[in-house]
Structure 1
Amino acid sequence: MDEKSVEICRKFVPGFFAIIAVVLAAIHCPGQMSVDSISALYEGATHSAVGWGPTFFSAFLAWLGGNVVGTSLFIVINCCVTYGCFVALLNRRAGQRVPGWQTLIALILALNPLFMFYVGIVWKDVMLTTAAMCASTTLFFAADRSGSSRYINLGAAALAISCMPLIRQQGILLALPFATLTAYLIIRKSGYRLLAQIVVFALSISAIFGATLVLEGASARTVRPAPSSPVSVGFLTIRAYDIAGMVKYAPPGDMSNWANASEDVRERIRKMYSPERIDTFWHDPDVRAYFNSLSAKESLSIWMSGLRHSPISYIKHRIKAFSSLLGLGDINGCVPAYWGVAGLPDELAALSLQEQMDARARVIGRTSLELHDTPIFRNWFYALILLVATGLAYFRLDNEQRKVGCVIALSAWLYLFSFVPTTIACDFRYLYPVAGLVTILCMAIFLHVPVWGRIVKAGAPKAPER
């Protein structure tokens, strides 16, 4: 691509992506809804949690109008924010000469079919990714600017960051680095003395997480949380999967008596365990009864006993589970995406919805199946890109851009590795935020003109006039 082609491309980019966003919203609305989606809608309608997870996602859908109105607006927001971020980045360097091949790579990244599928799914992971992409993009813009424009972008980033810990527990791993960076950018060009900078820095972080507390309170008033802590229930579930994994990968001849389970239950666990997901043995009544009978204290004691007895078994279990999450094997059982509407009968009836996969959903589903053997729905692919992007962010970006890029990379790595000890299923969606962050990071890198490059071009001698 020559410079003229690049300028033409940039001129038509906003309209092109606006069409994509509108078409995707029309195709997906009122949204692809799984059992989790229907439960979130049901919580919003009844104003009471039916699961143990955070209720902010349910409350957000209720604030948007609930039922299919809420999901439709959710889809529209996803489409507008996701492709709005891409348009903003593609036009961010309009006044500078970015090489055509770099612009082409950024354009290809923005046209990843993954986003075309996922903007239409009503999942909390999609909401977290949309918030993370918005925060990343506005932080890049804030690093470019000064004055009111800088602080408007920082304000938008702060609002997106404040939602992250409430959407999914691991969202705090994105929020903490982002909030720290936002506070740093606020004081970076303030001109304050050191003591004043420290005070403003602390106040900025406090304001971001203060907004989190305000949103949490508003969410609790809309959807009453479950009595048990989401974190404690989550730990119980993870420990149950670990106990099953240690029983499965015990050395030959090891009866795993440390599990305090009957021989029949242990044998059932060995036969039904899968590194892909906890569901395979969880549906067995006897196995489920065994785990449900354990108190939090007993669960922790048995988990520790298994870890002391055979740490190698635990490591094998965790490596295989994380490998499945990365998509290193067959992904057909890993819910690469979801199409249609499905939910519990009582919840569907209360919402006046029915389980179905209409002709439109079947077309989308068949299209996604064609991509199962490609890297599009493989988390290892985005982890590999993140590895390359981390190095490029440090060596290619400069000044505040480098700090933003490195913090985005750090956040993505923290989020990715948080699933090494916690994953209970190989569902692609768990690491969808990593795909979103690495796409924004790579686009910013390829559309960036380093300071030294600008100096060379500015100082280059002009061709003599004829």
Structure 2
Amino acid sequence: MRPLKLWRWALCGGFALVAAGNLPGQMTYDSVVSLAEGRSGHRLAWGPPTYSWILGLFDKVLPGTGLYLVVSMLLLFTAWASLPRLRPALSWFGPAALLLVLATPQVVLYQGIVWKDVFFANVAVAGFVAIAGAAARWDVPWAKWAPLAFAALCLALGSLVRQNGSITWVFSALALAWTARGGGWKRIVGWGAAGFMGPLLVAIVLSLVNPIRQAPGDSTIDQGLHFLQSYDLLAALAHDPHRPMPTLERINHTALQTMREEARRAYSPTRTDAMDKSPSFEAALGQFDNHAVAAEWEHLIVSDPAAYARQRLEIFDWVFLTPKIDSCVPIEVGIDGPPDIAKQLDIDIGVRPQDAHIYNYATWFLDTPVFSHAFFAALAVLVAGFLLVRRQRADGVIAALIVAALAFAASFYVISLACDYRYLYFLDMAAITGVLYVAIDPSLPRRGSRRG
């Protein structure tokens, strides 16, 4: 059997096994609510409405999340299927690496979970691989437009389901600028601008036609920012209960005093949910409107940036290093959500026998590098370094994918609210995609040969 045939059979077999084990999809509270929003067209929570819209579109064709899950998986598996086309040869290292990858919980379990984080990772990988395909045939004018249009759609969708996903646009711009570097600075600037503006324009259009509108009141971004600001103020008081907070002090001294007394009980660097342990803190915080919280948050950063940086680093350590992986929800199986909404959707809450088997399988990898974002970040750096040294055709685009994932992960230094493993899933999948790409053909160009 030739390497290419084994590559294809492995992907087909892996896809079939993952689909069979997970369909119609593992669902958490967020997943159930998003499906309900997509089916009803009405907002129930403050998550990205585009993800609910996507679930709703597939739900109209086939009720439930089964069709959505198949399409989401196809985005990733099709991208991986096209990787050999980016290189002149396929070594046996490629199928060997692919078989190992297909056995990881990132594929066996996570590809079967109805999460926007997984969908974001899949569309981001698919988008950059499409750009790489265009780069590989850059000299054929008609061959690049379809993959570039597909990439713009993927990266636009990614930014609409993950608020910080627009970071990828910067690197799609760099990827296209790098690809066009042989045509002079005007082409470099033009293609770089297209790499950013393409996803932006598509995202604007999709936002305008999305029928699921934000409910009256604060926007999703405003609500998320308020949660972040409140969490940062809580962290500051937990580390120093006597920290000056002049804005809150001026508005309500009594409420602020309660917050000082309860902060250490209400705070955990692992997630904001720990705030539920202190209803008194939540009630006191509720005495201040969003503007007051925002003003105090800005004062915190300006007045003591070093302290702010330290507390943010502590929170980031949990999401990136996951020192106690069990605290960061690495495994989710079954269907869980509000019983009343689940009943309306006609889905059964619970864990099926095959879900339990997948759960047990995934636990084998706990406390190993497979469940370590730091490990995948190290892999990503090594792969990106190799590709930037080799610099052949699509190498720069795959390197851009990897650096985009590293930048995406780094953004959680500022925005992290919990250490859930899924938040940096894109980093894992970008690193894995880079490893597969290198394994397909790990050769370096001969001295004097032309680089792409």
Q: Which moved more, 1:9-18 or 1:26-35?
A: 9-18
1:290 aligns with 284
CA distance in 2, matches of 1:67, 1:40: 17
In the alignment of these two chains, the number of paired residues is 439
Contact 1:24 1:79 (8 Å CA) reproduced:
no
Q: How does 1:130-169 map to 2 (within 5 A)?
A: 130-145=122-137, 146-147=139-140, 148-169=142-163
From 341, 356, 377, give the equivalent of 1:347.
341
Contact 2:269 2:315 (8 Å CA) reproduced:
yes
CA distance in 2, matches of 1:303, 1:349: 41
Change (3 A) 1:183 1:195: closer
TM normalised by structure 2 equals 0.88
Q: How does 1:278-427 map to 2 (within 5 A)?
A: 278-282=272-276, 284-308=278-302, 310-396=304-390, 398-427=391-420
Contact 2:269 2:314 (8 Å CA) reproduced:
yes
Partner secondary structure for residue 163 of structure 2:
coil
1:55 aligns with 49
The structural deviation recorded for 1:8 is 2.3
From 65, 80, 85, give the equivalent of 2:59.
65
The structural deviation recorded for 1:275 is 0.8
CA distance in 2, matches of 1:168, 1:15: 32
> Quick check: which has more Rg, 1 or 2?
1
Task: State the percentage of identical aligned residues.
Answer: 24
From 430, 434, 440, give the equivalent of 2:433.
440
CA deviation digits over 1:354-404, x for unaligned, max 9?
A: 3211222122122222221112222112122122223222112x2443431
CA deviation digits over 1:237-267, x for unaligned, max 9?
A: 11111111111112xxx52352644444322
Q: Which amino acid aligns with 1:51?
A: A
CA distance in 1, matches of 2:344, 2:59: 16
Unaligned runs of 5+ in 1: 1-6, 457-466
TM normalised by structure 1 equals 0.85
The structural deviation recorded for 1:107 is 5.0
Q: How does 1:79-228 map to 2 (within 5 A)?
A: 79-90=73-84, 92-93=86-87, 95-96=88-89, 98=91, 100-101=92-93, 104-105=96-97, 107-109=99-101, 111-145=103-137, 146-147=139-140, 148-179=142-173, 181-182=175-176, 185=179, 205-219=196-210, 221=211, 223-227=212-216, 228=218
The structural deviation recorded for 1:123 is 0.5
From 423, 428, 451, give the equivalent of 1:430.
423
Q: Which moved more, 1:28-37 or 1:320-329?
A: 320-329
Contact 1:173 1:411 (8 Å CA) reproduced:
yes
Unaligned runs of 5+ in 2: 250-254
Contact 2:388 2:399 (8 Å CA) reproduced:
yes
Change (3 A) 1:377 1:203: closer
Change (3 A) 1:402 1:82: closer
CA distance in 2, matches of 1:290, 1:68: 46
Change (3 A) 1:418 1:196: closer
Partner secondary structure for residue 245 of structure 1:
helix
CA distance in 2, matches of 1:124, 1:238: 19
What's the C-alpha RMSD, in Å, of the aligned pairs? 2.8
